[in-house]
């Protein structure tokens, strides 16, 4: 566990490393204003300590404030004392991100300037913040709950528009609000059951029916959150799609058409794509990563054997398979053999390529092989049908459009894990209460479910869990 004191005043560079239009050094803590005051000289001569709750002050960061001020605060006369011309923003506790006094020094942002400012602040008594410490303080001071704090990180790392949108919803507290509501209902029932534990059954009778029905609705709510989490995970991590099919059907050409670039090597020689290449694009705001594979049935040498193994791994790990056929050639033994190797549970779209050429493929046989799974005609060469294929790819994840507009999409692995465990505990609790087993058992499982949900929002937390969560942040956040 990180040994950090909440009483320290912390400082860090809050903007990315490198040259920027502005750079921000951020301070938070009870001493933030005093520390900043020790290195900042305002143009108007007013100390920061005299500033109002929200203030912007213009002035200079100086190496020796005393000398600078005695000389009449004239930068022209003492340029060697000036580190930078800055605007300082001040937010007094509790009206700040961390709910502590926060000072942000906006400078011209050269990396050297920022580190000089930071060093001066450290010399005046601030401590360098550890990663995520500002957000951790915001959490510990009740400004954000844990799910919201994690959303801050997700927003920074968002890979796509959709991922960003989900994280912003999470930051607004939608998920936490829902979870807290469910947890409170369970807590009420738990309190009720625990109160009865001290009495004998004859005195009180069993667990009341309405308590059980509250638990059942709660379980239903947890399950529907979990149902959406498949989409949530894909929104967050991107959809992994493997392009598969026998050599020369046009897999690499299709990848190029989907990427609208000419990255993958396309040649007329069978089996050029020996390795796997992964490329990502955004389809309707969703990050979609395509892997081109070598669609070979058997390996003749070591290179092919490795390619084959890589392909199998990619297929196992993918969320969706694009199975490509050459529409200008009859369906071959090779096509069917490859197809038969695919796990029938895999999400799959059939792509009949080369629609610019006369059709020779047995479409009705393919229809039969694919059943209810979609089949799309495209020409990778002419880039026809690509839009329709993209719609099918998107629809393969969001087959239920309601999921996308759902106000809460759980996407964080930690949250999914907690929801699963809590749902399982709750289910066990309902089960034993229904069976009329001793209410101690039901109460213990219910307690586990309640605690689990508390960990999601941070109503219940452990320092080591916080360490793990916040270590993923950068310093200054
Ligand atoms: P892969 O082995 O499955 O990756 O196939 P390639 O993408 O390398 O393509 C094999 C050959 O088919 C190349 O000569 C491509 O130009 C050609 N090809 C690919 N897609 C089409 C298409 O839609 N129409 C036509 N006419 N030729 C295509
Ligand atoms: Zn290829």
Query: Taking a C-beta distance cutoff of 8 angstroms, is the pair 286, 234 a contact?
Result: yes
Residue 292 alpha carbon, nearest atom of ligand 1: 4
What letter does residue 285 receive in the DSSP assignment? T
- pLDDT-derived band at 132 (thresholds 50, 70, 90) equals very high
State the alpha helices, DSSP H only, in 40-132. Answer: 65-70, 111-123
Cα(267) to ligand 1 centroid in Å equals 8
pLDDT at 345 over 70: yes
> 345: Cβ–Cβ under 8 A, 6 or more apart, which residues?
none
Nearest 10 degrees: Cα torsion 268, 274, 278, 284: 40
Residue 324 alpha carbon, nearest atom of ligand 1: 3
* pLDDT for the residue numbered 72: 87
What's the average model confidence in pLDDT over 22-37? 96
* pLDDT for the residue numbered 203: 59
Rank 18-22, 75-79, 388-392, 411-415 by mean pLDDT and report only the highest: 388-392
CATH numeric code, 10-144: 3.30.1360.120
* pLDDT for the residue numbered 4: 67
- Partners of 311 in the beta sheet? none
Closest residue to atom 6 of ligand 1, CA basis: 250
Cα(404) to ligand 1 centroid in Å equals 35
- pLDDT-derived band at 202 (thresholds 50, 70, 90) equals low
Of 116, 176, 118, residue with least CA distance to 145: 176
- pLDDT-derived band at 16 (thresholds 50, 70, 90) equals confident
Per 3-state DSSP, what percentage of the chain is helix, strand, and coil (rounded to 5)? 50, 15, 35
Put the strands of the sheet holding 23-28 in their side by side order: 40-42, 54-62, 82-91, 102-107, 23-28, 10-13, 127-128
Round the average pLDDT of the chain to a whole number and report it: 88
Q: Could you report the per-residue pLDDT of 390-446, keeping only the tens digit for each?
A: 999 998 877 766 666 666 788 888 999 999 999 999 999 999 999 888 888 999 999
Which ipTM did the prediction report?
A: 0.99
Integer Cα distance of 233 and 229 in angstroms: 6
CB burial string 171-198: b at 16+ within 10 A, e below:
bebbbbebbbebbebbeebbeebeebee
> 258: Cβ–Cβ under 8 A, 6 or more apart, which residues?
281, 290, 386, 389, 390
For 54, phi then psi, to 5°, come to -115, 120
Give the DSSP letter string of 232-247. Answer: HHHHHH-EEEEEE-ST
Cα(98) to ligand 2 centroid in Å equals 53
Cα(176) to ligand 2 centroid in Å equals 46
What's the average model confidence in pLDDT over 242-264? 85
| Residue of 259 and 199 predicted with greater confidence | 259
* pLDDT for the residue numbered 156: 84
What's the average model confidence in pLDDT over 231-236? 84
Candidates 335, 357, 380, 389: which one to mutate for ligand 1, based on the most atoms within 8 Å of Cβ? 380
Of 46, 51, 4, residue with least CA distance to 32: 51
Ligand 1 residue neighbourhood (C-beta within 6 Å): 245, 247-253, 266-268, 272-273, 353-354, 356-357, 379-381
Sequence ranges of the domains in the chain: 10-144, 155-232+412-458, 240-399
pLDDT at 238 over 90: no
Closest residue to atom 17 of ligand 1, CA basis: 250
| Fold annotation for 240-399 | Rossmann fold (3.40.50)
For 105, phi then psi, to 5°, come to -100, 115
What letter does residue 320 receive in the DSSP assignment? E
Query: Taking a C-beta distance cutoff of 8 angstroms, is the pair 409, 403 a contact?
Result: yes
How many CB atoms are closer than 10 A to CB 110?
A: 14
- C-beta pairs of 217-221 under 8 Å, 24+ apart in sequence: 218/182, 218/185, 218/186, 218/426, 219/423, 219/426, 219/427, 219/430, 221/178, 221/182
| Residue of 18 and 85 predicted with greater confidence | 85
Of 143, 169, 134, 156, residue with least CA distance to 470: 134
* pLDDT for the residue numbered 274: 46
Q: Which CATH number fits the domain 155-232+412-458, given the four candidates 1.10.3720.10, 3.20.20.70, 1.20.120.430, 1.10.287.40?
A: 1.20.120.430
**Residue 252 assigned as binding residue:** yes
């Amino acid at each position: 566990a990180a040994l950090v004191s909440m009483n320290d005043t912390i400082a860090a560079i809050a903007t990315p490393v490198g040259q920027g239009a502005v750079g921000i050094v951020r301070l938070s803590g009870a001493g933030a204003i005093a520390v900043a005051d020790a290195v900042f000289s305002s143009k108007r001569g007013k100390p920061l300590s005299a500033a109002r709750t929200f203030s912007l002050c213009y002035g200079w960061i100086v190496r020796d404030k005393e000398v600078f001020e005695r000389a009449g605060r004239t930068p022209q006369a003492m340029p060697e004392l000036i580190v930078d011309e800055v605007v300082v923003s001040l937010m007094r506790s509790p009206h700040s991100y961390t709910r502590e006094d926060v000072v942000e020094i906006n400078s011209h942002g050269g990396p050297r300037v920022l580190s000089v400012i930071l060093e001066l602040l450290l010399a005046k008594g601030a401590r360098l913040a550890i990663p995520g410490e500002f957000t951790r303080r915001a959490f510990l001071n009740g400004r954000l709950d844990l799910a919201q704090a994690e959303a801050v990180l997700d927003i920074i790392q968002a890979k796509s528009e959709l991922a960003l949108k989900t994280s912003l919803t999470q930051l607004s507290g939608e998920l936490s609000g829902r979870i807290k509501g469910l947890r409170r209902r369970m807590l009420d029932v738990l309190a009720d059951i625990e109160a009865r534990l001290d009495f004998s059954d004859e005195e009180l009778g069993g667990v009341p029916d309405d308590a059980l029905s509250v638990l059942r609705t709660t379980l239903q709510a947890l399950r529907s959150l979990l149902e959406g989490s498949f989409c949530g995970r894909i929104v967050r991590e991107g959809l992994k799609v493997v392009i598969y099919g026998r050599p020369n059907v046009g897999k690499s050409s299709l990848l190029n058409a989907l990427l609208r670039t000419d990255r993958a090597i396309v040649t007329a020689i069978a089996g050029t794509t020996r390795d796997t290449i992964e490329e990502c694009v955004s389809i309707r705001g969703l990050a979609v990563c395509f892997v081109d594979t070598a669609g070979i049935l058997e390996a003749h040498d070591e290179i092919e054997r490795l390619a084959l193994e890589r392909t199998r791994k990619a297929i196992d790990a993918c969320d969706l398979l694009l199975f490509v056929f050459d529409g200008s050639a009859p369906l071959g033994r090779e096509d069917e053999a490859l197809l038969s190797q695919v796990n029938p549970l895999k999400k799959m779209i059939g792509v009949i390529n080369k629609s610019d050429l006369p059709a020779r493929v047995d479409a009705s046989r393919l229809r039969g092989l694919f059943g209810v799974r979609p089949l799309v005609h495209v020409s990778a060469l002419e880039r026809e049908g690509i839009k329709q294929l993209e719609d099918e790819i998107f629809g393969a994840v969001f087959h239920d459009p309601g999921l996308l507009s759902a106000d809460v999409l759980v996407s964080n692995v930690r949250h999914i894990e907690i929801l699963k465990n809590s749902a399982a505990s709750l289910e066990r609790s309902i089960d034993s209460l229904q069976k009329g087993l001793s209410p101690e058992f039901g109460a213990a499982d219910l307690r586990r479910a309640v605690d689990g949900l508390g960990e999601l929002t941070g109503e219940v937390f452990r320092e080591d869990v916080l360490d793990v969560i916040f270590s993923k942040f950068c310093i200054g956040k």
